[in-house]
Structure 1
Amino acid sequence: MISIISIFSCKNNIKKVIILTEEKLLEPEPLELENLGFKFDDKPVYGSLVVYIDRLDFLYKYEKRYDSRTIYFDFEKISLNTENFAYHGAYDRTLIICREGAYCEIYCNHSDFEKIINQLNLFKEYRGIAIAKKNQELIKKNQKLKRISESSLSNAEIKTIVSNYIIEFDITSYPTITNSENASFNLLTDILCKKLPPLNSKNELETVTLQMLQIIYIDVLSDIFNSEYGDFFSEIDDLPHMIEKYINIDTIYHLDDYSLNKLTSYLISRSVLSKGDYACLVQQTKDSVLEMLYRKQVELTEKKLATSKASAIEIITIHDIDLMTGSEFEHYIASLFKKMGYKSQVTNLSGDQGIDIILEKANQKIGVQTKCYSSSVSNSAIQEVVAGLRFYGLSKGIVVTNRGFTKSAIELAKANNIILWDREFLKQKLEEFSL
């Protein structure tokens, strides 16, 4: 439903207001508007004609201005957040126009201004009905497409294609409408176009593809999380204990968006969280993690404050770490991981292939590289660990330093799923396990 509202102003009087419905005008252009035949008593006049085409989502403005023998055209697309639109007519006269697709003709001058306002207030109600109808039609359409999406995923080939797309193109964020702007998304729609039931438009094809991605995304991320950390949660089925276990896994960026998405998807698959708006569920998970991390910090602080000065002398601090040699730092980190419950083995000092320590816990084998530096660690350390993981056949990698990491090192680590322990994180572990 498209509304066309026109105001013709001549000199200092508003002469005619037309509000009508035109369903054929799908993409309004100036030349098409010429054919609408707006006239004033079939006579050429000086003044202006303004036409507003309301498609409920955007307002299109077309203005025709008369000046002696010349006619000027102006056409623009206006996005409005208000329900009403104000037209400033001749001599600063203002007419508030409610945009609605009903037919009405009003002949008037300024003395009839109140009458026009009253009439147009009725159209405000009509427009609300039109929007509600449009929204209802959109809901029904999405429900129909959702059924197509769900039934299509029963096809093993389609499900495999969508699942592999998420993994191959590293879709770490929950798929949204913005994915349709990606070149890879267009490739996927072209592939699925040949395998899905016939659809009415490209827009429907994109909607069905997006819906399938959203459904499969949760399953894929849940499987990834289960393969990485499932053994930690095998005997737990309630949210508080699962969150507590999560924050005690040392090879996770606990507040990283991708980590939270994987955890949330896993909790949904385990029916610990009920299905619903995914963004809200991720936020609920994040809030629970933040609360549990805070409780943990409170406990650590309490233990630290309750420790006597005599026993505190024996505690290794980050400043003690700064004075260590590379070999001393390596062996200390190995002993720290033992306190954390890992089997820990230091590799040969020469020819270690980028891995200083090999850890084992919960059927996971993890490679650790230690860097006791006086400056930030560069991306070469990340490259060494990635190579070392392949050499030793390890599932995860960690780089531990008493300093920080360069921006390029952080980016490369994120791309390769390498865990980084910087100075602050190491201080936290020293406080937690040196007591």
Structure 2
Amino acid sequence: MARRRRRRYYKSKKVSLEVILALVAFMIFVVFSIIRAIVTGIIHIEAYFVKQNTFLQTAFILGLIGFVLLFAWINNELRNKRKEQLIRLQQERDQEERREILRKRNLGLLKEMDPFEFEEYVACVFRCAGFEYEVTKRTGDGGKDIILRREDELRLVECKRYTTTKVGRSDIQKFHSAIMECSAKEGFFVTTGEFSKQALECASDKPIQTINGEHLLSLIEQYAGFEKEVLEHLVQEPLFVRVNFVLFEYFCKYAGFSTKCVED
């Protein structure tokens, strides 16, 4: 029985190898045939082209150059359109992110957040401030929740979503150790609660900015709220409308006409 099984195994393996070799040979034949057909076509075109007069040859070359330029222009336009679409999508994502931040800017809502959701929220606020961010893993983060980068400078953020508990001196010391270990320029300790007196004294002589709940709301208004108000203002009154109206008003004034609105 064992010998029969071995024979069947070797026989099936031999058949599969033969099929693979046949397929490879067929693919080589197909590729060779295509290359041969292309070369033959080029030779016939060249022979026909040589028989024509100089005018037709020049026209053909100019037409070929024009086709290449047209193809390059179309390709460039498609690239620019795609790039504009990507920029527009990114702007829409940024605006939606800011709207989401503003929806949750109430301190009570921040305190009810899941701790990890709060870290992502704070990271988005710093992103609105112009930082590139990376949220660290949930366990074993080494005393830092968010890593910020801007202009080749590293900054760290530690988040504490507290309701009644205050940030203590030991929390500041642990965060300072993480800053020194990462060679960061400074750190931001963010909490929805408050800092104890000992914690503030400990952070006063260290590269650590303490941000309590009220300060966090101010940052949200500064980096997320202001830009949203500007965007809404531009939507209501586009820039080109304002510019054209100013030019129109100046022309009417120069010509001696009044620009007051007439009521129906």
* TM-score, shorter chain, exceeding 0.5: no
TM-score, normalising length: structure 2: 0.45
- Name whichever structure is richer in strand by fraction: 1
Tell me which structure has the larger Cα radius of gyration.
Answer: 2
Structure with the greater relative contact order (CA < 8 A, sep ≥ 6): 1 or 2? 2
- Name whichever structure is richer in helix by fraction: 2
